[in-house]
């Protein structure tokens, strides 16, 4: 009897992505760089489609997330990873896309941040090419007003994101005007036109939890920042910050006749692109507006890009929250029309002079009505 010798020939999908023959198909990036984050998606043909998804945070976490897909499930991941950014998708060439990935990698290397996911699938993109003004421009939404320009510039300065800040100037290099302070989040910024330019009053919270009111003078010309001058800074308490940035929160308490895990990002139309976070007693679906028009106003306020929050508790409740009463009504209709709408019953509506939902989530209390009673007794 003859001995038959068989040789197994590997198909393309059996090889690691970096070793396959591949052809670039398309790529895009969100025009959200001035908010400090961008999402990048690339597609190659490598014996089938190969999708690479990158999420980059320019202020703190660097290249924070990397995921890859070989089927249409990538679209759900795109919604999950980029749904909160509110920007448009801007097409890129292969060289532009890989240059961006290279810059993400370099940021993590420079800041000793671990690479996410299977880094062997993207480390080959590391080059010495730099992001030029043209490529930076593809990550920046068109600016239509002085308000946008100034809010974004101040935001980038406090975040110590000087590459993005410099893109907004007429050529002068932004410096660390607050080098004695760690990076900070811009919670509120109010712009007033004065004789010498534009005066900003900024309420900020540093990464170490300190809170300040900072005033500064900004001058602009032909759609660019031409000078920036710190004027004053003083520390404030958490209570003073709450008075400065407080806003009305509208809440609807819904009785939910199903398990928490039955509610996912396919349960309603709005939550398809929600940012999902897990908490001790429930799950938050944060839904964002589809653009960043909230920056194009005299007063910028953090979280004005949030349409609303769906908080699914482990205790048979869904809590809907929004800073806009009309948006809350939209969310109620969205929930009712969703696939679990027949299992939802509105129990009560509330109006609070300051945000309370995340205080409730972090309190450890499981009954929202009990939490409200505690608030009323304070």
Q: What is the mean pLDDT of residues 229-238?
A: 94
Confidence label for 4 from pLDDT (cuts 50, 70 and 90): very low
Digit-coded pLDDT (tens) for 163-210? 999 999 998 889 899 988 899 999 999 999 999 899 999 999 999 999
DSSP 140: B
Q: What is the mean pLDDT of residues 342-357?
A: 92
- Is 157 inside any structural domain? yes
Digit-coded pLDDT (tens) for 6-18? 443 344 455 677 6
- Is 1 inside any structural domain? no
- Is 12 inside any structural domain? no
Q: What is the mean pLDDT of residues 210-234?
A: 95
Quote the domain boundaries for residue 186.
Answer: 146-244
- Is 118 inside any structural domain? yes
Burial class (CB in 10 A: 0-12, 13-18, 19+), 1: exposed
Both 255 and 372 in a single domain? Answer: yes
- Furthest C-alpha separation in the chain: 100
User: Distance between CA 91 and CA 138 in Å, rounded?
Assistant: 8
User: Distance between CA 116 and CA 144 in Å, rounded?
Assistant: 36
- Is 302 inside any structural domain? yes
Tell me the percentage of the chain whose pLDDT exceeds 90: 70
pLDDT of residue 93: 97
Both 227 and 290 in a single domain? Answer: no
Mean pLDDT score of the chain: 90
Digit-coded pLDDT (tens) for 124-167? 999 999 999 999 999 999 999 999 999 999 999 999 999 999 99
Encode 93-111: b = buried (16+ Cβ within 10 Å), e = exposed.
eeebbbbbbbbbbbbbeee
**Residue 376 reports pLDDT greater than 80:** yes
Confidence label for 55 from pLDDT (cuts 50, 70 and 90): very high
Q: What is the mean pLDDT of residues 72-82?
A: 87
Contacts of 128 (CB under 8 A, 6+ apart): none
Total domain count for the chain? 3
Both 78 and 186 in a single domain? Answer: no
Q: Which of 209, 244, 279 is the last residue of a domain?
A: 244
- Is 213 inside any structural domain? yes
Higher pLDDT, 334 or 80: 334
Q: Are 313 and 281 in contact (CB under 8 A)?
A: yes
Domain containing residue 187: CATH number: 3.10.450
pLDDT of residue 273: 82
Contacts of 249 (CB under 8 A, 6+ apart): 321, 322, 323, 351, 352, 354, 355, 356, 357
Digit-coded pLDDT (tens) for 301-335? 988 888 999 999 988 899 999 999 999 999 999 99
**Residue 280 reports pLDDT greater than 70:** yes
Helix or strand holding residue 294 (H, E):
none
Both 287 and 254 in a single domain? Answer: yes
Three-class SS of residue 315? coil
């Amino acid at each position: 009897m003859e001995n038959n010798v068989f040789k197994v020939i590997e198909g393309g999908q059996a090889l690691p992505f970096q070793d396959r023959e591949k052809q670039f198909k398309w790529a895009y990036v969100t025009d959200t760089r001035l908010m400090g984050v961008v999402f990048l998606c690339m597609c190659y043909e490598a014996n089938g489609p190969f999708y690479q998804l990158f999420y980059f945070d320019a202020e703190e976490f660097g290249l924070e997330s990397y995921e890859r897909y070989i089927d249409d499930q990538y679209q759900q991941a795109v919604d999950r990873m980029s749904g909160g950014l509110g920007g448009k998708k801007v097409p890129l060439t292969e060289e532009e896309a890989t240059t961006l990935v290279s810059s993400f990698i370099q940021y993590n290397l420079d800041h000793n941040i671990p690479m996410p996911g299977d880094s062997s699938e993207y480390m080959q993109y590391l080059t010495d090419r730099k992001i030029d003004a043209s490529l930076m421009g593809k990550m920046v939404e068109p600016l239509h007003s002085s308000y946008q320009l100034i809010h974004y510039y101040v935001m980038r300065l406090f975040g110590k994101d000087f590459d993005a800040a410099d893109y907004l100037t007429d050529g002068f290099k932004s410096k660390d005007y607050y080098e004695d302070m760690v990076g900070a989040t811009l919670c509120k910024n109010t712009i007033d036109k004065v004789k010498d330019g534009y005066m900003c009053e900024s309420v900020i919270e540093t990464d170490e939890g300190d809170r300040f009111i900072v005033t500064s003078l900004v001058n602009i010309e032909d759609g660019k920042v031409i000078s920036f001058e710190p004027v004053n800074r003083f520390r404030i308490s958490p209570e003073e910050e709450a008075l400065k940035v407080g806003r009305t929160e509208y809440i609807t308490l819904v009785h939910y006749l199903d398990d928490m895990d039955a509610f996912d990002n396919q349960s309603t139309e709005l939550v398809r692109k929600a940012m999902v976070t897990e908490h001790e007693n429930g799950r938050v679906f944060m839904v964002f507006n589809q653009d960043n028009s909230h920056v194009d106003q005299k007063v910028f306020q953090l979280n004005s890009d949030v349409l609303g929050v769906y908080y699914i508790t482990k205790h048979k409740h869904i809590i809907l929250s929004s800073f806009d009463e009309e948006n809350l009504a939209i969310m109620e209709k969205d929930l009712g029309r969703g696939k679990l709408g027949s299992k939802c019953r509105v129990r009560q509506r509330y109006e609070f002079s300051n945000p309370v939902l995340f205080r409730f989530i972090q309190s450890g209390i499981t009954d929202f009505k009990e939490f409200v009673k505690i608030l009323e007794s304070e």
